[in-house]
């Protein structure tokens, strides 16, 4: 009889042991999640205080307790990206997308670091993945930049227009849009986009210079000169190029206004001085100034 009781008791003991083990495992998992959450929140506090070193320690502790804590990987990736540690940023954003395949921020950030590393094909796929999950102005903006690098100007136009429709856009996206329109022969649309860019950032050299070039090609010299003059007021280091085009626009519209043309070419020479890439243009401008001075004297004698 004792043997029979022992045989019956053993399965019950086994079931009780398994139940207790599962309870312990569940309790431990719950404790791990709570520790992960605590570490994550602490990481956010450090990050807000610009203490990135301790923030990283906290986020790493977070994913050690809970390897599926996606936001911790995203925050670590962001810190590494800002520190220009792009390989680590890439790794963390990649992990975030693997842990949560529906996280828009994870794919958008992954695309951003891939773009920075000039991995344009991979960046394109990441931004497209983000957009497939949610149409977002920022994702379309970044996708447009990728297409711009790839010189796929039709897609540049589509991406930036979508971004602008969704409420995104800045001086750079409108500038790139203007360039894309210019490359595809849509001049009037290019002018509108470039004007929008310069209205957002009035001292942005590229918008004014590109707009001036369009007007110069259209033989609208007064408009060209006005755009190049605005470009010359920017802080761009190589704005002497705008001074060169400004001198051309003004002289072409009024070739016999020798005094003004001489001043404009001399201003270009002064601005370009010290730039090796402008050496030939400087020499040509100096010769042209002499020609204008001679023509001015001759005109005054008549």
Spell out, as residue ranges, where the chain has pLDDT lower than 50: 1-9, 11-28
Provide the CATH number for the domain around residue 114: 1.25.40.10
b or e along 95-132 (b: 16 or more beta carbons within 10 Å of the residue's beta carbon)?
bbbebbeebbbbbbbbbbbbbeeebbebbbbbbebbbe
Rounded CA separation 196/207 (Å): 9
Residue-wise pLDDT tens digits, 27-42? 445 558 899 999 999 9
- Asked if residues 72 and 62 have their Cβ atoms less than 8 Å apart, the reply is yes
Domain boundary among 80, 106, 134: 134
- Asked whether residue 35 is assigned to any structural domain, the reply reads yes
pLDDT at 32: 84
- Is residue 65 within 8 Å of residue 57, measured between CB atoms? no
Q: Indicate whether 263 belongs to any domain.
A: yes
**Domain assignment present for 236:** yes
> What does the pLDDT read at residue 45?
97
Q: What is the pLDDT of residue 228?
A: 98
C-alpha separations of 196 from 86, 164, 170, 187, 207 in Å: 33, 12, 9, 14, 9
CA–CA distance, 275 with 103 (Å, rounded to integer):
48
Helix axes 70-82, 52-65, angle to 10 degrees: 150
- pLDDT given for residue 301 in this prediction: 87
64: domain range? Answer: 31-134
**What pLDDT shows up at residue 12?**
44
Whole-number pLDDT of residue 1: 38
Q: How many domains does the chain have?
A: 2
pLDDT confidence of residue 2: 40
User: Looking at the domain assignment, is residue 275 inside a domain?
Assistant: yes
Structure tokens at 160: 């930036």
Does residue 271 lie within any of the structural domains? yes
Residue 228 in domain: yes
Are the beta carbons of 76 and 56 closer than 8 angstroms? Answer: yes
> Is 240 part of any domain?
yes
**Is residue 166 included in any domain, yes or no?**
no
- Write down which residue in 72, 103, 134 finishes a domain: 134
* Last residue within a domain, chosen from 115, 134, 153: 134
pLDDT tens for 188-203 read 999 999 999 999 999 9
């Amino acid at each position: 009889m004792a043997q029979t009781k022992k045989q019956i008791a053993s399965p019950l003991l086994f079931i009780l042991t398994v139940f207790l083990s599962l309870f312990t495992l569940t309790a431990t998992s719950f404790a791990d999640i709570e520790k992960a959450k605590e570490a994550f929140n602490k990481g956010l506090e450090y990050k807000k205080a610009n203490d990135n070193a301790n923030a990283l320690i906290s986020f790493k502790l977070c994913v050690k307790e809970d390897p599926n804590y996606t936001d911790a990987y995203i925050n670590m990736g962001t810190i590494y990206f800002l520190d220009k540690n792009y390989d680590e940023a890439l790794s963390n954003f990649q992990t975030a997308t693997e842990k949560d395949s529906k996280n828009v921020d994870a794919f958008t950030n992954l695309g951003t670091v891939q773009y920075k590393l000039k991995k344009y094909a991979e960046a394109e796929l990441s931004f497209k993945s983000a957009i497939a999950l949610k149409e977002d102005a920022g994702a379309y903006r970044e996708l447009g930049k990728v297409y711009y690098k790839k010189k796929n100007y039709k897609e540049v136009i589509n991406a930036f227009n979508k971004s602008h429709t969704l409420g995104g856009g800045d001086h750079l996206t409108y500038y790139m849009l203007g360039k894309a329109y210019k490359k595809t022969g849509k001049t009037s649309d290019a002018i509108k986009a470039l004007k929008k860019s310069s209205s957002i950032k009035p001292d942005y050299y590229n918008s004014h210079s590109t707009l001036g070039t369009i007007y110069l090609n259209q033989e609208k010299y007064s408009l060209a000169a006005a755009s190049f003059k605005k470009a010359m007021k920017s802080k761009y280091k190589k704005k002497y190029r705008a001074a060169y085009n400004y001198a051309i626009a003004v002289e072409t519209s009024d070739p016999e206004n020798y005094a003004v043309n001489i001043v404009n070419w001399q201003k270009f020479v002064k601005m370009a001085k010290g730039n090796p890439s402008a050496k030939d243009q400087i020499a040509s401008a100096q010769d042209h100034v002499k020609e204008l001075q001679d023509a001015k004297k001759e005109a005054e004698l008549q």
